[in-house]
Amino acid sequence: MAIELKTIQHLCELSKLNYDEAGLEKVMGEMSDIIDLMDEIKSFDLTYDDTKDNNSIKFCDTREDVAQPSFPTEKLLQNAENTDGCYVVPKVVE
Amino acid sequence: MDITRAKIRDLRAALDSKQIGAAELCDEYLKRIDQKDGEVKAFITVTREKAAEQAAAAQKLIDAGKATALTGIPIAVKDNICIDGVKTTCASRMLENFIPPYNATVIDKLNAEGYVLLGRTSMDEFAMGGSTQTSAFAKTTNPYNTECVPGGSSGGSAAAVSASLAPVSLGSDTGGSIRQPSSFCGVTGIKPTYGRVSRYGLVAFASSLDQIGPIANDARDCAIMLNAICGHDPHDATSARVNVPDFTEKLGQSVKGMKIAMPKEFYSDDIDDDVKQAVVNAAKSLEAQGAQLIDCSIPGLKYAIPAYYLIACAEAASNLSRFDGIKYGFRGEGRTFDELIRDSRSRGFGEEVKRRILLGNYALSSGYYDAYYKKALALKQEIIKEYNDIFDIADVILTPTAPTPAYKIGAQDNDPVKMYLADICTVTVNIASLPGINTTCGYTESGLPIGMSVIGRRFDEATILQCADAFEQGFTPVAPQI
Amino acid sequence: MSRYIPTIGLETHAELSTSSKVFCTCSAEFGGTPNSRCCPVCSGLPGTLPVLNKRAVEYIIKAGYVMNCDISRFTKWDRKNYFYPDLPKAYQISQMPRPVCLAGKVRINVDGEEKDIRINRIHLEEDAGKLVHDEVNRISLADYNRCGVPLIEIVTEPDFHSADEVIAYIEKIMLLLQYAGICDCKMEQGSIRCDVNISIAPKGSSELGTRTELKNLNSLKAIARAIEVEIERQEELLDNGEKVVQETRRFNEALGETTAMRSKEDAHDYRYFPDPDIPPIIFTEEELAEIRASIPELPEQRVARYVEEYSINKKDADIIVGNKKICDFFDEATAAYNNPKAIANYIIGELMRRINLGEADMENLKFGGAEFAQLVEFMQTDKVSQANAKTILREMIENGGSPKDIADAQDLWIKEDNDLLAKVVDEIIANNPKPVEQYKNGDQKVFGFFMGQANKTLKGAASPKAIQEYIRKKLSE
């Protein structure tokens, strides 16, 4: 099933990815094939029950509430454009 | 000293007997990297200075009689495991200059042993792929035939061990990324049970599937590495609170009476005859040692690829959202926040990473969630159940590691679906959180290695190591002529 | 009288007063220089993982109990995915299908009428960071100190029909959270924040109207005013035959109006899914019982105790309990001097009066309940006069110190000078034959006149009791 243009555009919006026209065309084709492969799972007819997962832990295995010294600010920011100990972000448009 | 396919235990003996110094040993490997890595391209970064420092520190421990299993042992580390002060790129333009300010827990553990870091190995970008050809920096080749892929995503780690550029390495495995390149490169690699090794510091691809593990020359070296890196970590809530045995304990024990299951779906027509034959022969050799072979079935396998890709990509889409160019990583251009992150992500990520992000967001987005993501979780429960049923009647499961041996570079380019289907033998092990080990069980006519996988019960790495080791004892591996 | 009836629902975020953040060990304290209370985990560095804070879970369970919720025996965490520069991981860890608390209720009282507000759910999540906007350079500066501070979100059913009800509810839950010891409820620091959903419908209509959401309301005054303004706006729209648009609006306090926030609301698809880094939790009955048993005395229990054990009237008890700091102060004072009624009277009559005048502040009080109790005791035992007690209290408010030291230093004790008492009262009686006559003829009211005159002249040189006795004695001679 070919994926629709507006679906791929929506996915690009959710993913914060830009494609030029040719790129979008190409990825649409690829995504269509991939989704065909994914669609095979639709014929599997069991339903998911999250209470049956066996990955839960006991309450007592959570972390005790003890504050520890934080990290040096400059080390945290060593990979970022920063000023006055803050990350620099272009203006957010609302 | 000949370091060709040298084992940790031999290096240990050489170091402890002062036959060789830690710095000298490290130099041997660095020299070989200088000679051979131009062809293999296993490394993204070679950490010479750090290696020298660590070797000197290790030598002090050895001289003081305080050496442990890995003191002074040179190790290569996949480029998605954070090391404080050492560039960690995930083979992505996005993290080309990223220097983590902290250590992954496995690195802390190796440091405690006095290991020596040789460098950072190449991989598929963000561990997404099975060929190491999506690496933005080093498209690793297969040491047995440099026109072929080394497998992936831990292709650099597998090729480095295969070409004797390192005696042992760390990889990570989300859907086969340790086992499949180990198979292609003719080495032994184990994906431990989910929760066995802390994921703290492993740049996440799919959090519910990722697991760090060693790639080495044999099962015993894998066991030695596991002894060093396993255990509950307070920084990883998914790391298990279970006892860590001595993983070398069952090595050398006979497989007499061991029940080995061979699910028929893993031996279908989708698997190369060469591969099938080699694995069946290996099974027979184990049978000859007293193991019992059991026929069985795992019907859920037919849905495994979509289930795996839906879960893995959904998690990946979310995990990779943090790469926005603000805090770290490639910072694009833009007058607004939205423009900046779009530009950073569009130029920082490669095509395969982008496809998987799109697929993940598709699976999670409103209107599709139940049909895809939830369905995949249901299938996960079913596959776990089917494996449990098999483990009711068997101790381990034997399968091929990949449907084919290493293929030519470029053969799967531009065909993501074909690439995804090639993961069929490995992904269910991650889906079911099981441990799996690859070891070499034969070679093709053209000399390419063929790998088989031994899969065990959760937290029963000891038994799969025992089984792989038993096979290795009767098998003579051939090192690549590189 | 309006033709419409408003229907309002509330989402309240409360920061939990844990020591560390909800998913890492950084301090959860308010403030700090930018990015000084951060680590690789709360800064969203690649490879880091969240580890859940046990106390944060305990606190939300307590919140659930004090709001009469059902506590889930199985709970898990989800990721809410969206890009915003105050959210370093680009997802917020929250809870979607399996929150810790479900289906509770909170009783409110508006003008003497009681009403139950239904709680839909309470879930645990992490707070986001803060952005400071630099308009000149067209940039924002991101500070992640607040990232990962534990938050609970309390979601009500749409059970409110007026701003008064909403305010009564917020005041009530703030009190409950404070008494349960899980949130300091400092609205000015943002530790309590509310989003309000409002719709209106013609009276008698069984269908709800289209709702709007008001965000970023940070004081009770703003909330009340914003609700009123928004109701008026919606009424005007409907009256003019226009439609209410479902949207998020911001309240401009200075202009007294709500305006639509420019946002791509339709593009919001949060793609919630279970966070694979945080295992779900299963609670045992014992664990829940233990947490429940550790909840401190709640407001209603305290009122009941004051009325029953201390014989304080309900109105006064409500006043004291209505402020947790004052109530704790009262308990401390009562522990030091067992005269709850006198202490309550002096707290309400004097201390709270000064607080209302802005002279004192419970946050920075320079003395404790024990010192205050001593002052009340001095009055009750005729060691200090009422007038001098006020002087002492003023000194305590301004500079702290014990009542005894202040009375010593400023010579404010009652002297019990019987000679002076006799002299002063004798003079008053001698100089006022007429009132003396009236008293002797049975007019008891003039007694107050003599007391007043004597007090004025004696200025604390004798206790009121001694003065009273002496006057009575003289007048009956």
pLDDT number for residue B87: 97
Q: For residue B337, how many other CB atoms are within 10 A of its CB?
A: 23
Q: Determine the Cα–Cα distance for residues B240 and B193; give it in Å rounded to an integer.
A: 9
Could you tell me the two tokens for C165? 């009800």
Domains of chain C by start residue, with CATH: 4-285 (no CATH), 299-410 (no CATH), 418-475 (1.10.10.410)
B479 located within any domain: no
Give tens-digit pLDDT for C6-32. Answer: 999 999 999 999 999 999 999 999 989
The pLDDT of residue A87 is above 60: yes
The pLDDT of residue C421 is above 80: no
Task: Give yes or no for a contact between B166 and B212, defined as CB atoms under 8 angstroms apart.
Answer: no
Task: Give yes or no for a contact between B239 and B202, defined as CB atoms under 8 angstroms apart.
Answer: no
The pLDDT of residue A89 is above 60: yes
Give tens-digit pLDDT for B1-32. Answer: 899 999 999 999 999 999 999 999 999 999 99
Mean local confidence (pLDDT), C293-312 = 90
Could you tell me the two tokens for A46? 């069991």
Give tens-digit pLDDT for A5-48. Answer: 999 999 999 999 999 999 999 999 999 999 999 999 988 888 89
Q: For residue A29, how many other CB atoms are within 10 A of its CB?
A: 12
Beta-carbon-side half-sphere exposure of residue A6 (alpha carbons within 13 Å): 1
The pLDDT of residue C471 is above 80: no
Q: What is the CATH number of the domain that holds B142?
A: 3.90.1300.10
Q: Determine the Cα–Cα distance for residues B421 and C274; give it in Å rounded to an integer.
A: 26
Using the beta-carbon criterion (under 8 Å), do A63 and C97 form an inter-chain contact?
Answer: no
Q: Determine the Cα–Cα distance for residues C249 and A26; give it in Å rounded to an integer.
A: 40
Mean local confidence (pLDDT), C306-321 = 89
A94 located within any domain: no
A22 located within any domain: yes
The reply to whether B87 belongs to the active site is no
Q: Does A22 touch chain B (CB under 8 A)?
A: no
C262: confidence class by pLDDT, cuts 50, 70, 90 = low
Could you tell me the two tokens for C297? 């005395």
Catalytic residue among B177, B183, B239, B433: B177
Residue C239, helix vs strand vs coil: helix
The pLDDT of residue A81 is above 90: yes
pLDDT number for residue C239: 86
Task: Give yes or no for a contact between A46 and B376, defined as CB atoms under 8 angstroms apart.
Answer: no
pLDDT number for residue C319: 87
Give tens-digit pLDDT for B279-315. Answer: 999 999 999 999 999 999 999 999 999 999 999 999 9
- Window 78-117 of B: residues touching C by CB (8 A cutoff) are 81-82, 88, 90, 95, 98, 100-102, 104
Using the beta-carbon criterion (under 8 Å), do C85 and A89 form an inter-chain contact?
Answer: yes
Using the beta-carbon criterion (under 8 Å), do B236 and C138 form an inter-chain contact?
Answer: no
Beta-carbon-side half-sphere exposure of residue C451 (alpha carbons within 13 Å): 13
Residue of A nearest to C130 (CA): A86
The pLDDT of residue C264 is above 60: no
pLDDT number for residue C18: 96
The pLDDT of residue C45 is above 60: yes
Task: Give yes or no for a contact between B329 and B136, defined as CB atoms under 8 angstroms apart.
Answer: no
Which residues in chain C are contacts of B361 at CB distance < 8 A? 271
Which residues in chain A are contacts of C271 at CB distance < 8 A? 14
Q: Determine the Cα–Cα distance for residues B199 and B185; give it in Å rounded to an integer.
A: 25
Q: How far is C183 from chain A (nearest CA, A)?
A: 15
Mean local confidence (pLDDT), B380-397 = 97
Mean local confidence (pLDDT), C382-411 = 80
What lies within 8 Å, CB to CB, of B357 at 6+ separation is A15, A17, B313, B316, B317, B320, B349
Residue of C nearest to A83 (CA): C141
Mean local confidence (pLDDT), B440-446 = 97
Percent helix, strand, coil in chain B, to 5, is 40, 15, 45
Which residues in chain B are contacts of C81 at CB distance < 8 A? 317-318, 321, 364
Best residue in A14, A30, A38 to probe B by mutation, most B CBs within 10 Å?
A38
Using the beta-carbon criterion (under 8 Å), do C47 and B373 form an inter-chain contact?
Answer: no
Q: Determine the Cα–Cα distance for residues B333 and B331; give it in Å rounded to an integer.
A: 7
Query: Which spans in B320-350 are helix H?
Result: 337-348
Q: Determine the Cα–Cα distance for residues C56 and C382; give it in Å rounded to an integer.
A: 50
Task: Give yes or no for a contact between A68 and C25, defined as CB atoms under 8 angstroms apart.
Answer: yes
A78 located within any domain: no
pLDDT number for residue C271: 95
Strands C91-94, C101-110: pairing is unpaired
Number of domains in chain B: 1
Which residues in chain B are contacts of A75 at CB distance < 8 A? 101
Give tens-digit pLDDT for C330-339. Answer: 998 898 888 8
pLDDT number for residue C247: 83
pLDDT number for residue A93: 64
Using the beta-carbon criterion (under 8 Å), do B237 and C49 form an inter-chain contact?
Answer: yes
Give tens-digit pLDDT for C164-197. Answer: 999 999 999 999 999 999 999 988 888 899 999 9
The pLDDT of residue A92 is above 90: no
Q: For residue C13, how many other CB atoms are within 10 A of its CB?
A: 17
Q: Does A81 touch chain B (CB under 8 A)?
A: yes
A84 located within any domain: no
Query: Which spans in C143-212 are helix H?
Result: 163-179
ipTM of the shown complex:
0.96
Per-residue burial over C431-443, b = 16 or more CB atoms within 10 Å of its CB, e = otherwise? ebeebbebbeeee
Residues paired with residue C196 on neighbouring β-strands, in sequence order = C10, C214
The pLDDT of residue C268 is above 90: no
Q: Does B342 touch chain C (CB under 8 A)?
A: no
Q: Determine the Cα–Cα distance for residues B402 and A59; give it in Å rounded to an integer.
A: 41
- The boundaries of the domain holding residue B111 are 8-253+461-473
C1: confidence class by pLDDT, cuts 50, 70, 90 = low
- The boundaries of the domain holding residue A14 are 5-43
Measured CA to CA in angstroms, residue C247 lies from B129, C199, C243 at distances of 43, 11, 12
The pLDDT of residue B458 is above 90: yes
The pLDDT of residue B345 is above 90: yes
Q: pLDDT exceeding 90 applies to what percent of chain A?
A: 73
Catalytic residue among B92, B131, B135, B153: B153
B73 located within any domain: yes
Q: Determine the Cα–Cα distance for residues B356 and B175; give it in Å rounded to an integer.
A: 14
Q: For residue C471, how many other CB atoms are within 10 A of its CB?
A: 20
Q: Which of B50-59, B134-143, B432-441, C374-383 has the lowest mean pLDDT?
A: C374-383
Q: Determine the Cα–Cα distance for residues B11 and B5; give it in Å rounded to an integer.
A: 11
Measured CA to CA in angstroms, residue B251 lies from B6, B239, B459, B477 at distances of 19, 25, 16, 18
Q: pTM for the whole thing? A: 0.91
Could you tell me the two tokens for C381? 């035992």
Closest CA to B433 of B460, B453, B451: B460
pLDDT number for residue C348: 86
B427 located within any domain: no
The reply to whether B365 belongs to the active site is no
Q: How far is A93 from chain B (nearest CA, A)?
A: 7
Q: Determine the Cα–Cα distance for residues A85 and A87; give it in Å rounded to an integer.
A: 7
Catalytic residue among B36, B78, B276, B380: B78
Give tens-digit pLDDT for C339-370. Answer: 888 888 888 887 888 888 888 888 888 888 88
Interface partners of chain A (CB pairs < 8 Å, 3 or more) are B, C
Choose the closest CB to C271 out of B95, B338, B365. Answer: B365
A88 located within any domain: no
The pLDDT of residue A75 is above 90: yes
pLDDT number for residue C267: 57
Q: For residue C344, how many other CB atoms are within 10 A of its CB?
A: 22
Number of domains in chain A: 1
Closest CA to B403 of B418, B381, B388, B387: B418
The reply to whether B198 belongs to the active site is no
pLDDT number for residue C208: 84
The pLDDT of residue C117 is above 80: yes
Residue of B nearest to A35 (CA): B359
Q: pLDDT exceeding 90 applies to what percent of chain B?
A: 97
B77 located within any domain: yes
The pLDDT of residue A94 is above 70: no
Residue C91, helix vs strand vs coil: strand
The pLDDT of residue C415 is above 80: no
Per-residue burial over C372-386, b = 16 or more CB atoms within 10 Å of its CB, e = otherwise? bbbbbbbbeeebbbe
Main-chain phi, psi angles of C156, to 5 degrees: -95, 165
Give tens-digit pLDDT for B115-145. Answer: 999 999 999 999 999 999 999 999 999 999 9
Task: Look up residue C304 and give its DSSP letter.
Answer: H
